[in-house]
Amino acid sequence: MHARLILPLLLLLPAVASAAEAIDPGRIVSAATGDWDKDGDTDLALIIRPAEGSDEDNGVYLYLAGDSGALELKSAIPNKIWGQFDLVGQAPSIEALPNGSLVITSHNDAIGRDRWEQKVTVAYRNFEFVVAGYTHSSYDTLDPNNTSQCDLNVLTGKGKANDKAVVAKGELVLLKDWNDARGQKACGIQ
């Protein structure tokens, strides 16, 4: 997202932040705009790092444009997305997809021999943010033959892991209720 688009949105944050928690703009690590609810207005998604000294994971904050056009907090999910900022190669990100969905990416490209990337695709369905897809890939830096790849449609339960079909129970899982272990189990990663 271009800085010129983010700056005006950051100025709106005090007005759209939950009364229970004002978001410090310095904690925003990734932002995306799109039309999540397909009403023609621009919506906002943020990944917010936890407060200094906290051992929690990053939070996801999802805003929808209200009837007046002002952004309204629809979903605040703290302690949701793994990622660190002290080292290069571990910062999470969020981006808008052309179809109105979001993809949240977490990864480890820096520490240890086991490197991985995970993508959670989020869609707005039935007035809620749900997990529509889960993708996971990994490789071992010391053993080039030790790789894995999985792509799962969470809604249908169908997917592919290491070029073989996988079938899990298709379900509508709210993003706030999603657990990465759920996708990893379906992909046979655990």
Q: Is the distance from CB of 109 to CB of 116 less than 8 angstroms?
A: no
Q: What pLDDT, in 10s, does the model give residues 18-41? A: 434 678 899 999 999 999 999 999
Q: Is the distance from CB of 64 to CB of 45 less than 8 angstroms?
A: no
Mean pLDDT over all residues of the chain? 88
State the pTM of this model: 0.86
Q: Is the pLDDT of residue 9 over 80?
A: no
Which residue, among 104, 113, 110, has the nearest Cα to 90 in the 3D structure? Answer: 110
| Both tokens assigned to 55 | 């051992």
Greater confidence (190 vs 189) lies with 189
Q: What pLDDT, in 10s, does the model give residues 116-162? A: 999 999 999 999 999 999 999 999 999 988 999 999 999 999 999 99
Instruction: State how far the Cα of 182 lies from the Cα of 151, in Å rounded to an integer.
Output: 13
Domain boundaries, the chain: 1-88, 112-190
Supply the pLDDT for residue 21. Answer: 60
Q: What pLDDT, in 10s, does the model give residues 65-105? A: 998 889 999 999 999 999 987 777 889 999 999 999 999 99
Instruction: State how far the Cα of 25 lies from the Cα of 56, in Å rounded to an integer.
Output: 18
Supply the pLDDT for residue 15. Answer: 41
Q: Is the distance from CB of 22 to CB of 41 less than 8 angstroms?
A: no
